[in-house]
Amino acid sequence: MSKTTKSESFLLRHETKTLLGPAMIYLALFSVFPLLYSLGISFFEFDRVAGKWNFLGLGNYKEILSDKVFWSSILITALMVGIALLVEVIAGVSLAIFFGQKLKGSKIVRAILITPMILNPVVVGLMWRALLNPQWGLFNWFIGLIGVDNPPIWLADPKWTLWTLIFVDVWQWTPFIFVVVFARYQALPTDVFESARVDGASPLKVIRYITLPLVSSAVVFAAIFRGIDSFRTFDLVYGLTFGGPGRSTTTLSFYSFENGFVYYRYGFSSALSYIMVIMATIGFAVLLKWIPVRKSH
């Protein structure tokens, strides 16, 4: 048996290991190890002056659970995810159906529409900070044209900041839902719609009983993807409000960032991130169980 045959035989005998090996090594190095490492440091506190780690056991977790800011951050994150996602899904699906009508000039409008999605969220935050500037921002000038003389101070009034954050998030991410749902909509068989029209179904009934069920898998996929992303929103908050005023826009991710990278409380920040991972896993597992993704098929 030649050398080549021997090595071929080895590869065949260890086919699974050979094929999965590189991916497993990659995952172990860049995913599993950092996860385990950060889990480890969630039980410690770093003493910057002494330059050493002090073991706290479950101290960081206990502190988090008795921390008022943590609970307010959960509420803010939940409001942000819930409201923004709902609006994005409704607007994204509506836009997908609208642009599915192949109207004149829709290709250009579509291209413009998806632009926000490709911008960096920190840049979006800074851009909207400028647009919402109470003295020279274009946004207030524009709403002044339509009769709003004394607009709120969007980024300095706690009554408005969370809504402003949600508005900017919707502005940036509705195109994502639109793109995913639109792609699915374009791939639907046309004969079903033709049959419905022949049977005399109204446009609204077509949407209600044919279009929506057929695109639901894409909607659920986009919503879950977007929901996870929204749950860990940090960069938009960083660029737009920096968690304020007060704690009015401090999301869980931002609170974790603030503790880890502003106050250097690495252990506390890691513990907070782990609590977020647990919450996200449970939340989306429950969501997937209850949403009938495959029924439409």
3-state DSSP assignment of residue 241: coil
Q: How far is the CB of 264 from another protein (least distance, A)?
A: 6
Query: Whole-angstrom Cα distance, residue 227 to residue 240?
Result: 20
The DSSP secondary structure of 63-113, one letter per residue, reads HHHT-HHHHHHHHHHHHHHHHHHHHHHHHHHHHHHHHTT--TTHHHHHHHH
Compare residues 121 and 227 and give the one whose CB is closer to another protein. 121
Footprint on this chain of another protein (rule: CB under 8 A): 48-51, 63, 133-135, 153, 155-158, 242-247, 258, 261-264
Shortest distance in whole angstroms from residue 123 CB to another protein = 13
Q: Considering beta carbons, is residue 140 or 174 the nearer one to another protein? A: 140
Closest separation in Å from C-beta 255 to another protein? 12
Find the radius of gyration of the CA atoms of the chain.
Answer: 25
Nearer to another protein, 92 or 243 (CB): 243
Tokens, residue 204: 């609204």
Residue whose CB is less far from another protein, 75 or 278: 75
Closest distance between another protein and the C-beta of residue 122, in Å? Answer: 10
The residue among 155 and 223 lying less far from another protein, judged by its C-beta, is 155
Nearer to another protein, 100 or 134 (CB): 134
Q: How far is the CB of 171 from another protein (least distance, A)?
A: 19
How near is the Cβ of 252 to another protein at its closest, in Å?
17
- Give the integer Cα–Cα distance in Å for 91 and 109: 15
Q: How far apart are CA 297 and CA 294, in angstroms?
A: 5
Supply the minimum distance, in Å, between the C-beta of residue 245 and another protein: 5
Q: From CA 44, how far away is CA 60, in angstroms rounded?
A: 8
CB of 107 to another protein, least distance (A): 39
Residues 6 or more apart in contact with residue 199 via CB below 8 angstroms = none
CB 168 within 8 A of CB 238: no
Residue in 79, 122, 72 with CA at minimum distance from that of residue 247? 72
Name the residue nearer to another protein (CB basis): 158 or 213.
158
Which burial class, exposed, middle or buried, applies to 200 when counting CB atoms under 10 A from its CB (0-12, 13-18, 19+)?
exposed
Is residue 45 helix, strand or coil?
A: strand
Q: How far is CA 289 from CA 60, 178, 248, 285, in A?
A: 32, 24, 32, 6
Q: Measured between alpha carbons, how far is 94 from 117 in angstroms, rounded to an integer?
A: 17
Q: Which is nearer to another protein, 34 or 82 (CB)?
A: 34
